Every structure is written in C-alpha cells, then in structure tokens.
Amino acid sequence: MAPEKEVAPKEDGQEEEQVVNPWEVSAGKGGIDYDKLVDQFGCRRIDAALVDRVARITAAPPHRFLRRGLFFAHRDLSELLLDLYERGEKLYLYTGRGPSSEALHFGHLIPFMFTKYLQDVFKVPLVIQLTDDEKFLWKNLTVQECKRLARENAKDIIACGFDIQRTFIFTDFGFVGGKFYENMIQIARCVTYNKAVGIFGFSPEDHIGKVSFPPVQAAPSFPSSFPHLFGDNDQLRCLIPCAIDQDPYFRMTRDVAPRLGYQKPSLIESRFFPALQACGENTKMSASDPNSAIYVTDSPKEIKNKINRYAFSGGQDSVELHRKLGANLDVDVPINYLNFFLEDDDELERIKMEYKEGRMLTGEVKQRLVTVLSELVARHQRARAQVTEEIVDAFMAVRPLPNMFD
Amino acid sequence: MAPEKEVAPKEDGQEEEQVVNPWEVSAGKGGIDYDKLVDQFGCRRIDAALVDRVARITAAPPHRFLRRGLFFAHRDLSELLLDLYERGEKLYLYTGRGPSSEALHFGHLIPFMFTKYLQDVFKVPLVIQLTDDEKFLWKNLTVQECKRLARENAKDIIACGFDIQRTFIFTDFGFVGGKFYENMIQIARCVTYNKAVGIFGFSPEDHIGKVSFPPVQAAPSFPSSFPHLFGDNDQLRCLIPCAIDQDPYFRMTRDVAPRLGYQKPSLIESRFFPALQACGENTKMSASDPNSAIYVTDSPKEIKNKINRYAFSGGQDSVELHRKLGANLDVDVPINYLNFFLEDDDELERIKMEYKEGRMLTGEVKQRLVTVLSELVARHQRARAQVTEEIVDAFMAVRPLPNMFD
C-alpha cells in the first residue's frame, strides 16, 4: 500500500488527463478532479446524510477527516456494511502501508489516524499490512532494508494509539504463507494478465514481480487469510480505509470475491494530503524535497520554519490589500491543514471567517497551525518513544485476539 | 513440476515444429527430436565419458537410466558440479512433482527412482517440491484436492526409498513463506513479463497466477530457501534431476542466479517415458486413457493385460515373417520398457539380439516385461503400504537434517 502520494502536474502541452493508480498520480492543471475520479472508478461520494448515519450508528462524533471531507468516497459503506452492522453483524478493518521511507509525514499517518477512530467507534479487530515485498519490487532497495523500514514504520503506526487487544500488524515477508498464500493463489487464478494491465497499467517490460503483487494486497480483504484471528468465519465483512489511489486493488478484489465464495470488502477512501507548496488541490509533493511536508520527526523549530517559509498562502500580497480583499481559502494551505488537524469546529469556522474577510493575516493563521502541528508532533514523538521492540513484537505476534469484538 | 508428459503428435498439415515446455509437448511425426531440443535449449548431451566419470567419482555403477540414455542431457554437470565435488565441495539435490493425479504410472516415478540413486551415491541432502499451487493454477481442482493429491503422491515418492535423514519433502501451500518467499520475490524482480512470455509462452489471456508461478519452482534451486537445512550457506551447489520439459524453469533460474549472488543450479535431464502404444519416440500418452501406461496401483493381471494388448510391438505380423525378418527394436515398446527396467545388462543384450534376429517372439519379450514390471509394482505397493501418515509428517517436518552430508 502507498496511501501517501506525490501528485505530479502535467507538463504544459500535455493532455490534461489525470492518471491515478497505486504508483502514479498525475493531475491536470486544476489539480485532481475528484468528481471525475469517483465516476471513473465507480465508487460513490460520501454525503452529509452518510456522515450523520455513521455518527448515529457509532454513537460518536464523526472524525474530523470524515465530517470535513478528507475521507470523501466509499464502496458499499451504506448499502451493505452499515445496514449489516446495525443488524448486529460484525466486521473487521484492514489498512496498510508500503514501507519505503523511514521518516513519515502527516500524509502517511492520515489513514492510520482515521483507522484508529474507526477501530475505537466500531470496536472491531484490525489487520495492518506492511507491504515490504511491494517496496522491494518497486524500489531499488534490498530485502533487508525493506524489512527494516517496515519495522520502523510499525513503530509510528503503533504510536497512533491502536489497541493491541484488537490489532494484528504483519509484514508480507514475515507473514505470507499458509491460508494467506492459498488466498493469493486463488485470487491470482481469477485475474487475467490483460485484466491486470487494464486495472494497473503494467507494461510488458515490467517484471513479473509487479504482475504477481496485486493478489498480495487483495488477500487481507478476506478473513480466511487470518485463521489465527477469524478461524472458519470466512464471511466476516471487511472495511478498508485507504487513499483513493488504492482503489484499483480493491476493484480487482471485489470483482474476484464472489467467484471465491467470499464477501466483497467495503471501502472508505480519502483524498490526497496536499504538500505545503500546494496550490489548491494540485498537490505536488516531492519525496526528494523535505520542505514539501511536515514530518513526524521534525522539531518545533523545523515545523515553524517550514510552515512560515513554504506553506502556500491564499492571502494577499500586502497587508493593505489583504485587509481589503481577504484571503482565498480555496488555495490556502494553512487553512487546508487546519481543516484536517484543528479539532474545534467553532474555532476553525471563526478562523476561516476572519481570514477570508481580511481581519486575520496569513502569519496569524500560520502561527495557529504551527501550534496545532507542533502539539500533534510532540504527542506522536512521545508515543513513539514508548514503542519498544517488544511492543512491536507483541503487535506482530501471530496470535488469537480473544476479545477483539468486545 | 510435471516430469511426466503427454506428447501430442502434430495433426496432418500442421508444421512439424516441436513444442516442449512444462505444459505442452508436441512432436513432429518422427517423434521428439532430442538433438534439436538440446540445441534449442542450449543444454548438453551426456556422453559415455561423462557416464564413466560419474561412475568413477561415485564409486558405484551408473544407474541404468543413466547408462542407457534415459537421462541424456545436462547443464554444468561435468564442468562445474563434478569438478567441485571431486575437490570436496558439497551439493544438494532438488526435484519435484506437480500433484495432479492420484495414481502414478512409471513415467511419474522415473525422476524419483533416479534421484534416489543420486542421493545414495552422492550421500547428499535432497529437497522434493510438491507444486500443489501449480496444479491449482493449471487444473480445474480445488485447493483442498490439490493438497490431498500432494500428500498421496508424497507416499508414492517416499515408497521409492528415500533416506529420511537426508530428505525434506514440502508442498508449496504448506511451505511458501519466510526465506523461500523472499527468494521468490527476488527472482520475480529479475524477470520481465516479456522474458517470461519468451521462455514459457504465456498469453495475455492467461491468468496472473501462471505468470507468478515460475519463481516458485525456481526458489528451491537456491539453498537460502531452506534455512532450516542449510543455515547461512547460500553458496551450496544444487543438482536438479528432471525431465527435459522442465528446462525452461531452470534456464530462467540460471539466468537470474548471478544477479542475486547465488550459484546457478546444475541439471541432469531425462527424455519422456513412452506410452504403451507409442511408436518409436513419438510418445502419445493420454491422461484420460488408463491403458496408455502401467500404474503403480495396477494388479499383476492388469499389467499382463495392458502389455499384451496395448504395448506397441516392433515384431512382424506373422511368426513366419518374424522368424525371417526379426523385430524392429527402435519402435518396440516392450524392448524400450525393458531398457528402462531390466537391470541385467547381459540379459537385456541377449533379449535384444534374439528378438532382433527373430528367434524370440513378441509374446516372449512381453512375458519377460510383465514379470519385471509386476515385480517392480509389487515391491512398490509393499513399500507404499508401509508409509503411514506419521511417516509423511516426518518427511515433511520443517527440521534440520544433522547428518545429511555423512
């Protein structure tokens, strides 16, 4: 899995057709057209009524990522999953990450922060797949390095606060085999090479490791891949929170599921998290540019410096003009970030109003964002420091989770 | 692996180009042209000098399959493997079977009978791969049925007399994972789809399971796939006895090996075992026709009946003509079978001479073959009856083999 994403804008003169798949996201000049993506993929928008329904069913306020539209699309969330959940059916959560870098930024953590919320409100088991094999296949890294990164990333994931009584974290190099491998092979038999090319865009010069990989990411969608957790319950429903670029994997999985006698997984999908320099949703994150994102390893000074220097502002060029015209919130990155990370709805609305009408300056908004992110990062760093090797081993132990539905 | 093989003669009007790959063997009208195959694949013929050398190095008479040319081709047997063995380097053996049928015929057992000889004379460890995943991918069987067939086939394999102190038998569904999976992924990263198509002839409408499989059969060629046997010794040489249709897998494996820092496996390769109705080497075995082969489950009466009724004879149409012209040994199946299964060189030569010159009749030769095969089958059936579930478990236990080189 690779929930974070660099979005490359098309060069001048190129067609503005957007490409979104697990390894490439390129947008037209106006940024990703999410409406078009939803139509193209065949998933559905999450509307206010669905957010309300989640709140009602879970008897908890919806996560700000949900109520503010970061998680914006779904498959079978209302029709199937919530209906069944209301009738008392159980479900489990599945998410993951391709461990290609050591230091994670906020974009990397978003699916995990949201998954923790889902685990808390639904009180259900969760499997987290670290696709170290995928990263080996796509990046120029050694097996050892991929395995090491997976373990380091697991510490950041655990630091998000998952309940060890309900969470199984695994790496592919560590866990593939047995029933999981049986499911991989069963899935692979249902997908032709032509079909895989249609879904993932492989080329004949791609190595066969790439072609072999989609069943590895599909397998955790089926509970029978985890006999130590779910025993013979091969009809348990699965809900997958992920970024929308992962949709192709699960379109394939949902297509295959009925042929194997399994349930289709449901999905809840996020937009891409914008880079600091982003203009609107035309996110341009660069893995080679540490200034394009706030990392969970950044110091308060680094956070302050990055936001003040690099966060794209929708404010006006001069104070006078700003007081007169106000800020353009649609392209303002600090507002976008506050939208994701400032919990207090009233304060957020107040800031947006003041800023839009020119009464608040960019520097003031940035100052608030620095405080919010510094607190989040500090909290994360404290939590991660508590994650020992033994705790990682405990989360990754192949074990039953006796009270995972309690 | 699928060491046994149906050889389909080309239809009239078709080009006589032979096709030999792990899933298809079709020959021109004159049968398989093995010289052409050796040239095409780039392996080498085993000559008398090499057979002598094996005998000298192992201080044992060469197996009749070797001295009579059933195992007829090799890769790096003389140049590398035997040179190194003489200098005291160790090696291990790897062979396998795709468990697609319950009852095995003699064609199925040949690689195992030969591998047992190699294990006995070289006194080396052996890994036997049962590719239940391959059979699931290529045949319309359930996972459960493939796993059951693998276990049943393991009993017949064990009945060939392998030394439990030096033999590890595994199924892919049971064993894939860990270092074995790491090697699969490393191999897969080295082979493009185009290259795989060139080697194996996949079509775009084939499912991706087929495309994913070659690394599974390649992985046992590298000792690091078996840490419980070989620890950190990732340079141990591997010798693979197999039918020549498996050569494409190991061409690929040998191509990939240096890029992974591994040794190329050496090969010793057999022809195809002819069907009873075969004419010369134009073997036409039909899985749907039980009369095309002698099964190890056949009764003495069935063996007698099949050989008398179906074994293609090179004798003449009448006794008078036969006495005058003698038999054509080149197309005579009973002689071909005796060539493989009658141990006594002198007796074999005598029978061939008498038969060729018309002094022995087809019925007499067939009678001798019936006796030889009935004894072999009876011995196999007795041995197989001794193979309990516990013994299968013991051979398949993932365990160290402490005295495997003694």
Q: How confident is the model at residue B1 (pLDDT cuts 50, 70, 90)?
A: low
Residue A135, in any domain of the structure: yes
Q: Are residues B151 and B219 in the same domain?
A: yes
* Interchain pair B177, A178: CB under 8 A: yes
- Token pair listed for A274: 């914008």
Chain B partners within 8 Å of A261 (Cβ): none
| C-beta atoms of A211 and B209 within 8 A | no
* Domain assignment of residue A67, yes or no: yes
Confidence bin at A6 (pLDDT 50/70/90): very low
User: Looking at beta carbons, which residues of chain A come within 8 Å of B176?
Assistant: 176-177, 181
Q: Is residue B10 domain-resident?
A: no
Q: Which residues of A touch B177 (CB under 8 A)?
A: 175-178, 181
* Phi and psi angles of residue A93, each rounded to the nearest 5 degrees, phi first: -105, 145
Distance from CA of residue B119 to its chain's centroid?
Answer: 15
Residue B111 in contact with residue B196, Cβ under 8 Å? no
Torsion of CA B177, B182, B186, B187, to 10 degrees: -40
Percent over 70 (pLDDT), chain A:
93
Q: Are residues B214 and B351 in the same domain?
A: no
* Residues A175, A231 within the same domain: yes
Taking the CA of residue B270 and the nearest CA in chain A, the distance in Å comes to 29
The span from the CA of B235 to the CA of B229, in Å, is 13
Q: Do A208 and B185 touch (CB under 8 A)?
A: no
Q: Given B189, B203, B207, which is nearest A189 (Cβ)?
A: B207
DSSP A240-297: EEEEGGGHHHHHHHHHHGGGGT-PPPEEEEE-PPPPTT-BTTB----TT-GGGS-BTT
Is the CB of A182 less than 8 angstroms away from the CB of B176?
Answer: no
Report pLDDT for B213: 98
All residues of chain A having their beta carbon less than 8 Å from the beta carbon of residue B194 are 204-205
d(CA A33, CA B160): 65
Here the ipTM equals: 0.93
State the Cα–Cα distance between residues A208 and B193, nearest whole angstrom: 5
- Measure in Å the smallest separation between the Cα of B181 and chain A Cα atoms: 7
Residue A84 falls within a domain, yes or no? yes
Give the residue numbers spanning the domain of B250: 30-273
- The CATH number assigned to the domain holding B371 equals 1.10.240.10
CA dihedral A331, A380, A238, B177 (to 10 degrees): 120
Enumerate the residues of chain A whose CB falls inside 8 A of the CB of residue B173.
178, 181-182, 185
Domain end call among B255, B273, B291: B273
* Nearest alpha carbon to residue A275 among A259, A291, A261: A291
The number of distinct structural domains making up chain B is 2
Question: In this structure, which amino acid lies at residue A13?
Answer: G
Of B133, B185, B193, the CB nearest to A204: B193
Under an 8 A CB cutoff, do B137 and A176 touch? no
Q: Is the pLDDT of residue B25 over 60?
A: yes
Cα gap A402→B207, rounded to integer Å: 38
Nearest residue of A to residue B214 by CA position? A208
> Does residue A294 form part of some domain?
no
Q: Are residues A60 and A96 in the same domain?
A: yes
Of B136, B188, B192, the CB nearest to A212: B188
CB pair distance less than 8 Å for B177 and A182: no
**In which order are the strands placed within the sheet that holds B19-21?**
B7-9, B24-27, B19-21
The C-alpha atoms of residue A187 and residue B208 are separated, in whole angstroms, by 9
Chain B residues with CB under 8 Å of A143 CB are 182, 185-186
A396: closest CA of chain B, how far (Å): 15
Residue A254 and residue A191 share a domain: yes
Which residue in the set A172, A174, A211 is minimally distant from B193, CB to CB? A211
**Predicted confidence band of residue A3 (pLDDT cuts 50, 70, 90):** very low
* CB within 8 Å: A186 and B136: yes
Among partner residues B143, B192, B208, which is closest to A207 by beta-carbon distance?
B192
Q: Are B25 and B2 in contact (CB under 8 A)?
A: no
* CB-count exposure of residue B142 (10 Å: 0-12, 13-18, 19+): exposed
Cα–Cα distance for residue pair B391/B393, rounded to 1 Å: 5
Does B282 have pLDDT greater than 50?
no
Which residue in chain A is spatially nearest to B189 when comparing CA positions? A209
**Burial annotation B366-385 (CB, 10 A radius, 16+ → b, else e):** bbbbbebbbebbeebeebbe
Residues A55 and A197 occupy one common structural domain: yes
Q: What count of CB pairs under 8 Å joins A to B?
A: 119
Asked if residue B200 and residue B97 are part of one domain, the reply reads yes
The residues with which B356 forms a beta bridge, in sequence order, are none
Residue of A nearest to B207 (CA): A192
What is the pLDDT, as a whole number, of residue A274?
86
More confident residue, A48 or B20: A48
Looking at residue A284, what is its pLDDT? 46
Q: What is the pLDDT of residues A300-326, one digit of tens each?
A: 999 999 999 999 999 999 999 999 999
Whether A279 is in a domain gets the answer no
Query: What are the angstrom distances between the C-alpha of B397 and each of B165, B219, B229, B393?
Result: 12, 19, 11, 6
CA A277/CA B125 separation, integer angstroms: 61
* Probe site for chain A from B208, B234, B253 (most A CB atoms < 10 A): B208
The rounded distance, in Å, linking the Cα atoms of A204 and A396 is: 36
pLDDT tens figures, B182-194:
999 999 999 999 9
* B283, part of any domain: no
CA distance B309 to B391: 38
Locus of tokens 């990392």 = A295
Q: Which residues of B209-230 are buried (b: 16+ CB within 10 A; e: fewer)?
A: bbbbbbbbbbbbbbbbbbbebb
Distance CA A375, CA A123 (A): 27
Q: Domain end: B256, B273, B290, which one? A: B273
Within this chain, do residues A335 and A236 fall inside the same structural domain, yes or no?
Answer: no
Cα radius of gyration (chain B): 21
A105-123: average pLDDT? 95
Q: What is the pLDDT of residues B112-124, one digit of tens each?
A: 999 999 999 999 9
- Token representation of residue B287: 């899985």
Smallest CA–CA distance, residue B180 to chain A, in Å, is 10
Question: Are B268 and B335 in the same domain?
Answer: no
Q: Are B239 and B94 in contact (CB under 8 A)?
A: yes
Q: Is B387 exposed, middle or buried (0-12, 13-18, 19+ CB in 10 A)?
A: middle
Residues of A with CB under 8 A from a CB of B: 133, 136-137, 143, 172-178, 181-182, 185-186, 188-194, 196-197, 202-209, 211-212, 214-215
Could you tell me which chain A residue has the CA closest to the CA of B174?
Answer: A178
What's the CA gap between B284 and B14, in Å, rounded? 17
Last residue of a domain, one of A273, A288, A320: A273
Same domain flag for B248 and B342: no
Residue B364 covered by a domain: yes
Task: Indicate whether A161 and A59 sit together in one domain.
Answer: yes
**pLDDT digit string, tens, across residues B222-274:** 999 999 999 999 999 999 999 999 999 999 999 999 999 999 999 999 999 88
Residues belonging to chain B: 406
Q: What is the 3-state secondary structure (H, E, C) of chain B?
A: CCCCCCEEECCCCCCCCCEEECCEEEEECCECCHHHHHHHHCCEECCHHHHHHHHHHHCCCCCHHHHCCCEEEEECHHHHHHHHHHCCCCEEEEEEECCCCCCCEHHHHHHHHHHHHHHHHHCCCEEEEECHHHHHHHCCCCHHHHHHHHHHHHHHHHCCCCCCCCEEEEEHHHHCCHHHHHHHHHHHHCCEHHHHHHHHCCCCCCEHHHHHCHHHHHHHHCHHHCHHHHCCCCCCEEEEEEEHHHHHHHHHHHHHHHHHCCCCCEEEEECCCCCCCCECCECCCCCCCHHHCCECCCCHHHHHHHHHHHCCCCCCCCHHHHHHHCCCHHHCHHHHHHHHHCCCHHHHHHHHHHHHCCCCCHHHHHHHHHHHHHHHHHHHHHHHHCCCHHHHHHHHCCCCCCCCCC
Could you report the per-residue pLDDT of A204-259, keeping only the tens digit for each? 999 999 999 999 999 999 999 999 999 999 999 999 999 999 999 999 999 999 99
Q: What is the CATH number of the domain that holds B218?
A: 3.40.50.620
Measured CA distances, B212 to A188, A209, A212, A215 (Å): 8, 7, 5, 10
**In angstroms, rounded to a whole number, what is the distance separating the alpha carbons of residues A226 and A219?**
9
Determine which of A131, A134, A183, A185 to mutate to test the interface with B (most B C-beta atoms within 10 Å).
A185
- Write down how long chain A is: 406
**Residue A106 Cα, gap to closest chain B Cα (Å):** 30
Is A192 close to B206, i.e. CB distance below 8 A? yes
Q: How many helices (H) and strands (E) does chain A have?
A: 20, 10
A43-73 confidence digits (pLDDT tens): 999 999 999 999 999 999 999 999 999 999 9
Q: In what order do the strands lie in the sheet with B266-270?
A: B44-45, B71-75, B266-270, B237-243, B91-97, B126-130, B167-171
Residue A163 has pLDDT above 50, yes or no: yes
CA angle at B384 for the pair B382 and B385, rounded to the nearest 5°: 65
Higher pLDDT, A91 or B285: A91
Cβ–Cβ gap B208/A211 under 8 Å: yes
The verdict on a CB contact (< 8 Å) between B205 and A193 is yes
Non-local CB neighbours of B382 within 8 Å, separated by 6+ positions? none
Tell me the C-alpha distance between A260 and A95, whole Å. Answer: 21
- Chain A residues in contact with B225 by the CB 8 A cut-off are none
Give yes or no for a contact between A393 and A171, defined as CB atoms under 8 angstroms apart.
Answer: no
CB burial readout A239-273, b (16+ within 10 A) else e = bbbbbbbbbbbbbbbbbbbeebebbbbbbbbbbbb
pLDDT: which is higher, B278 or B315: B315
The string of pLDDT tens digits covering residues B58-115 is 999 999 999 999 999 999 998 778 889 999 999 999 999 999 888 899 889 999 999 9
Residue A10 C-alpha, separation from nearest chain B C-alpha, in angstroms? 28
pLDDT at B171 over 80: yes
Per-residue pLDDT of A365-379, as tens digits, reads: 999 999 999 999 999
Q: Is the pLDDT of residue B180 over 90?
A: yes
Do A310 and A259 fall within a single domain? no
| Encoded tokens for B232 | 């950190």
Q: How far apart are CA A21 and CA A24, in angstroms?
A: 5
